[in-house]
Amino acid sequence: MSTTSITGYLQRLGLGQELEPTLDNLRRLHRAHVERIPYETLDFQLGRPVGLDPAESVDRIARRGRGGYCFQLNGAFRLLLAELGYRVTMHRVGVQGTGDQEPVGVNGNHLALTVAGLPTPEVPAGHWLVDVGLGFAFHEPLPLQAGTTVQGPFGYRLASSSAEPGAWRLEHHPVRGFVGADISTRAAGIEEFAAEHVRLSTAPESEFVRLARVQRRDALGTDLLLGRVLTRITAEGERRRELADADEWFGALREVFGLPLDELDAAERRRLWETVDAAHLAWSAASGSV
């Protein structure tokens, strides 16, 4: 990464450049990333090809003011952490959603990170699970050891995977957004996710193509925009409302998610709204609710 890219990335996170590779700073970086860089799939609704190269993803975040989904966000974050001196590794993951019930096992539909070399008395091995590219993401890294961590309204339990020898099993409680995931311990290269990236970003049956999703995590919960429904999820429950028109929808992107989409011209914004609106109406009719 160039010095300009690192500076721009850290500025987007609201952090300075003097960050030693410590656990406290890893937590700061992780919190800032999920709070400021939204999980978003809006290019898929525009039918735009989206690159998988982590350097492109860094540019997308640092210069263009955009977010992304797992392969982009965690790919870019790996580059940043490595530049800052962390021992960071990418891993293949299989995430099981709440709808289609993917079989357990590592199928590579998700990318996660681990960071090594940061021991504490409670985590003597010094390994941490890092994920800034999961919709219902952790707010901070999880200790990569058996046990349960509660962050806001969400709990994450790690244990050995029964479906994949040597892998980790992550379970999400209460179930919201995803049921669980199997995480390989083998190091992976970004090219291993290429075929799945094409499928998830272009296939008509992909959930990311069928319905726009934008999400942002914070210490108390998460904000989720699915189609035209904006939901705030905390330990107290859910507050949701349906956004009435394009002005309200783009206003939520800007104000709630920090996503002004300045790079889109008027025609692109109109086409994005029309695509999102049509998909939302079809989804609402099929599900019988919003």
User: Among residues 43, 59, 131, 182, which one is catalytic?
Assistant: 131
The answer to whether the beta carbons of residues 63 and 7 sit under 8 Å apart is no
70 is catalytic: yes
Element (H, E) at 276: helix 266-287
* The token pair that represents 126 in the structure block: 């010094």
Strands of the sheet containing 147-151, edge to edge, are 142-143, 128-130, 110-116, 87-97, 178-183, 168-176, 154-160, 147-151
* Alpha carbon distances (Å) from 253 to 25, 38, 68, 242: 28, 10, 14, 14
Q: What is the dihedral of CA 246, 251, 257, 262, to 10 degrees?
A: 80
The one-letter amino acid code at 203 reads: A
User: Among residues 30, 33, 110, 197, which one is catalytic?
Assistant: 110
User: Among residues 30, 43, 59, 70, which one is catalytic?
Assistant: 70
According to DSSP, the β-strands at 110-116 and 87-97 are antiparallel
131 is catalytic: yes
Active site residues: 70, 110, 131
